[in-house]
Amino acid sequence: MNKMTVRDADFNGKRVLVRVDFNVPLEGDTITDDTRIRSAVPTLQYILEQSPRAVILMSHLGRPKGGPTPEFSLRPIAPALAALLGQEVAFVEDTVGDQVSAAIDQLPQGGVLLVENTRFYKGEEKNDPDLAQKMAALGDIFVNDAFGTAHRAHASNVGVSTHLPAYSGLLMEKEIDYLATALENPQRPFVAILGGAKVSDKIAVIEALLDKCDKLLIGGGMANTFFKAQGHAMGKSLVEDEALETAKMLLQKGGDKLILPSDAVLGDKFEEGANTQTIAVSAGVPEGWAIYDIGPETIQAYQAHLNGAKTVVWNGPMGVFEMPTFAKGTFAIAQALAGETAKGATTIIGGGDSVAAVEQSGLADQITHISTGGGASLEMLEGKELPGVAAIRDR
């Protein structure tokens, strides 16, 4: 990576402003998945070892509308982070201003402060220069470790960088290195797996990957649009009719490189406990039924394509994995990447749903790299420059 990282910075005695990604799922005040918090710890520990005056943390959480909203407060994050760091993490109920400045002044030497949700200020997502200047005033030096927001030009990642020397955190560095290496110089065979609901969300990714990978395996609801483009009956399956011509174009471009499921698991209802049947896709989906997972023949075929692969990138589930009845395809892919099938391969997983599936399966520690950024990893796979990365100092 040709960007300056925390290893290039002098933090001694400095107020270090760090953009982290603590956009974690909450049920009330309970964090249901702390992956993103744990992922930030190595960078924070590295900075704290360099004797900074203070470490000030900024993050967004969710999509609050119109200002402060209690359900999107970052307050529950502070004790969870404190337990991981082994030191107190103070919290302040604002993002910028006098209250925050006072909280920083009250910190002990090397203290850590988490400020309130950056999106409680409307100017955050507009990259408002005034808000960015106020954020920058909190620190002497800036570290961006929030890869999950790197595809957005916001005040807390891009705006701040115009006022302070900006460095990459260790997580940001790791994300960029893995994704860039997978795209620019992959070990072959290079197999990509794309799932999720919509083709339209991933057209640019499919086109980019078809130019780079050896095989592109398709699953999830997006496969249905390809099936309909081939002339198969889809029953009440999710189909993007407006993307049918695009699907036909991609099928033609992909040739034998683009692989679709050959069979599918159907349900008569979109709920756990629905009646199910498995069909060959070529037979068509009966009226009143919908595709909710890839079938056993497809699982076997996809495992065969992954056997011997040297680089695998996976983004998006194979079915409605949140329901155990329709989770077999997604978990089978996770098991293939973690087990003997893809042994020796560099395995990279991005996208919230596929990451959640791997975490649920208990196989996360057997995957080479799990990306914390769904949208950002997709845009990197498309070959786009990410504003949050571009704003970091070049070497």
User: Looking only at Cα atoms, what is the longest distance across the chain?
Assistant: 70
CATH homologous superfamily of domain 6-171?
Answer: Phosphoglycerate kinase, N-terminal domain (3.40.50.1260)
Same fold, 6-171 and 178-382: yes
The structural domains of the chain, with segments of one domain joined by +, span: 6-171, 178-382
HSE, side-chain direction, 13 A CA sphere, residue 229: 21
pLDDT of 94 > 90? The answer is yes
| 67 CB-contact burial (10 Å; exposed 0-12 / middle 13-18 / buried 19+) | exposed
13 is catalytic: no
Other beta carbons within 10 angstroms of residue 394's beta carbon come to 7
Question: What is the distance between the terminal CA atoms of the chain, rounded to a whole angstrom?
Answer: 9
List 75, 110, 198, 236, catalytic entry: 198
The pLDDT assigned to 200 comes to 84
CATH homologous superfamily of domain 178-382?
Answer: Phosphoglycerate kinase, N-terminal domain (3.40.50.1260)
Q: Tokens 């956009």 label which residue?
A: 23
Average pLDDT over residues 87-97: 98
267 is catalytic: no
Per residue in 27-69, pLDDT (tens digit) is: 999 998 888 999 999 999 999 999 999 999 999 999 998 789 9
The pLDDT assigned to 352 comes to 66
Q: Tokens 């780079």 label which residue?
A: 212
List 212, 375, 383, 393, catalytic entry: 375
Nearest 5°: the CA angle 375, 263, 362 is 50
8 Å CB contact between 86 and 43 = no
352 is catalytic: yes
Per residue in 207-246, pLDDT (tens digit) is: 989 999 999 999 999 999 999 999 999 999 999 999 999 9
Q: Tell me whether the omega of the peptide bond preceding residue 108 falls within 30 degrees of 0, making it cis.
A: no
C-alpha 347/C-alpha 310 separation (Å) is 8
Other beta carbons within 10 angstroms of residue 372's beta carbon come to 24
Task: Report percent pLDDT > 70 for the chain.
Answer: 99
Q: Residue 135: pLDDT band by 50, 70, 90 thresholds?
A: very high
375 is catalytic: yes
Per residue in 161-214, pLDDT (tens digit) is: 999 999 999 999 998 888 877 778 899 999 999 998 888 888 888 998 999 999
Nearest to 171 by CA among 183, 159, 179: 179
Average pLDDT, the chain: 93
Residues 6+ apart with CB under 8 A from 167: 3, 4, 5, 6, 8, 9, 141, 142, 143, 144, 392, 393
Task: Report percent pLDDT > 90 for the chain.
Answer: 78
List 36, 134, 152, 328, catalytic entry: 36
List 159, 220, 319, 352, catalytic entry: 352
C-alpha 336/C-alpha 349 separation (Å) is 13
